[in-house]
Amino acid sequence: MDLPVWQALSDDLAEEAFVVIAVSFDTRAPEASRPWIEGANPTYPCLLDPEHEVADLYNMVNVPNAVWIDEEGRIVRPAETAGTGDEFRSMVAPGGIPADDLQRMMRRRQRYVDAVKDWVRNGVDVRSATDATHTADDAQAFAHFRFGTWLARQGRDEEAHAQLAEARRLKPESWAFRRQSWELEEIGKAGGPDFWAAVEALGDADYYPPPQLAGLDD
Amino acid sequence: MATLVGPRGAGSLTDATGWELKPEGLCRDDVCVPVPDDVRAAATDDAVALWRHLGWPVATTGDAADAYLGEPVSARAAARAGEPAPDFALRDLAGVEHRLRDHRGKKVFLASWAPW
């Protein structure tokens, strides 16, 4: 879970003009997110986004994703994987994640956090060339997803699932869509056999595309 | 009549989407999109037809009783380095609203997470 990692980052940069804003993509009532937020006891704003407004505005497709924004309110780095990596995929293999992979994963996360600090403290230019601007299909997919979660809140489960399935079809790269809609079908499904089968089906493709940031995997 | 749902909630066209039919077209804030007369005549009763005419995102339930009117690509900000970061207002667990623009003057690390 990432909230404590962002707390450490926030603590380290307490003297700087800097703020972490964490956004929960859970579409259910606040109670779904509450235990994790209270457990992390963050000093930074920890917000609820049941309508996926931020996901939609910034085209964020997974958790953890992050966007870096400068003092003038301009995007520096559009939505990207927030330092994690695909090493987690061997979690379910016999023996779990190999020690080397685990170390690489932790080292990458540390370097990603260090890059945030370098940007904040030293003003290092870390603008990314990534373009996360919506396509027409993205806009249509978010309409289905947001309608689906609205229907789910009305207790209209069957209609909700049809909308959510259409959102997933139009935007297969959104694991946020997939995992939230699975979780609405059945608690625990987001991390269950369907999830692992979908990850397996990626083959050589990334679950967490690495951020284009120099030195993360040296 | 269909229930209209949109990024701003459920209700009338304007409640759901923030867009409003005016003499000069379909307008929100200081933006107006022209609407031909024949579409306008139908659109008074049929916002879905209007959205479809404009090529904007529409999702309907199977029986087409209810519809979601999505935000068009043309009204969305570009998500590239150097572009303005779109503002948002969300609540925390205590119900306190936070806006991105309240943090102008600071660098912001905006991170997604979920309990699942």
The tens place of each residue's pLDDT in chain B, 116 residues long, gives 678 999 999 999 999 999 999 999 999 998 999 998 888 887 767 899 999 999 999 999 988 889 999 999 988 889 999 999 999 999 999 999 999 999 999 999 999 999 99
Q: What is the pLDDT of residue A110?
A: 94
* DSSP structure string for B76-108: SPP-BTTSBPPP-EEEETT--EEEGGGGTTSEE
Of A77, A96, A122, the residue at which a domain comes to its end is A122
CATH of the domain at A109: 3.40.30
Of A122, A152, A167, the residue at which a domain comes to its end is A122
Instruction: Answer yes or no: do A85 and A158 share one domain.
Output: no
Chain mean pLDDT for chain A: 94
Per-domain boundaries in chain B: 3-75
Q: What is the pTM assigned to this prediction? A: 0.94
Of A85, A100, A122, the residue at which a domain comes to its end is A122
H helix or E strand, kind and range, residue B59: strand B58-60
With beta carbons under 8 A apart, name residues in chain A contacting B92.
45-48
- Number of Cβ pairs < 8 A linking chain A and chain B: 227
Q: What is the pLDDT of residue B41?
A: 80
Instruction: Answer yes or no: do A38 and A113 share one domain.
Output: yes
Instruction: Answer yes or no: do A172 and A146 share one domain.
Output: yes
Instruction: Answer yes or no: do A84 and A19 share one domain.
Output: yes
The backbone region for A31, taken as left when phi is positive above 0, alpha when psi lies in -120 to 50, beta otherwise, is: alpha
User: Does residue A46 form part of some domain?
Assistant: yes
Instruction: Answer yes or no: do A35 and A108 share one domain.
Output: yes
What is the ipTM, given to two decimal places?
0.96
A35 burial via Cβ count (<10 Å: 0-12, 13-18, 19+): exposed
Instruction: Answer yes or no: do A117 and A193 share one domain.
Output: no
Residues A24-55: tens digit of each pLDDT? 999 999 999 999 999 999 999 999 999 999 99
What is the number of domains present in chain A?
2
User: Does residue A215 form part of some domain?
Assistant: no
Instruction: Answer yes or no: do A113 and A189 share one domain.
Output: no
Q: What is the pLDDT of residue B75?
A: 85
CB neighbour list of residue A118: distance below 8 Å, 6 or more residues apart: A124, A126
User: Does residue A9 form part of some domain?
Assistant: yes
H helix or E strand, kind and range, residue A65: strand A65-69
All residue ranges of chain A with pLDDT < 50 are: none
Query: Judged by CB atoms within 8 Å, which residues 41-100 of A form the interface with B?
Result: 45-49, 51, 53-60, 62-79, 82
CB contact under 8 A, B108 and A68: yes
Q: What is the pLDDT of residue B44?
A: 67
CB contact under 8 A, A146 and B100: no
User: Does residue A216 form part of some domain?
Assistant: no
Q: At what angle do helices A99-122 and A3-12 cross, to 10 degrees?
A: 40
| Number of separate helices (H) and strands (E) present in chain A | 8, 4
Which structural domain range is residue A187 located in? 136-201
Note whether A138 and A34 are within 8 A (CB): no
Distance CA B14, CA B27 (A): 10
Instruction: Answer yes or no: do A141 and A193 share one domain.
Output: yes
Cα A91–A94–A98 angle (5° rounding)?
55
Instruction: Answer yes or no: do A53 and A142 share one domain.
Output: no
Distance CA A33, CA A72 (A): 31
Q: Using the 8-state DSSP alphabet, how is residue A173 labeled?
A: T
User: Does residue A58 form part of some domain?
Assistant: yes
Instruction: Answer yes or no: do A29 and A111 share one domain.
Output: yes
Distance of CA A123 to the CA centre of its chain: 25
With beta carbons under 8 A apart, name residues in chain B contacting A1.
113
Distance of CA B97 to the CA centre of its chain: 19
Q: What is the pLDDT of residue A20?
A: 98
Instruction: Answer yes or no: do A27 and A68 share one domain.
Output: yes
CB contact under 8 A, A71 and B101: no
Instruction: Answer yes or no: do A106 and A169 share one domain.
Output: no
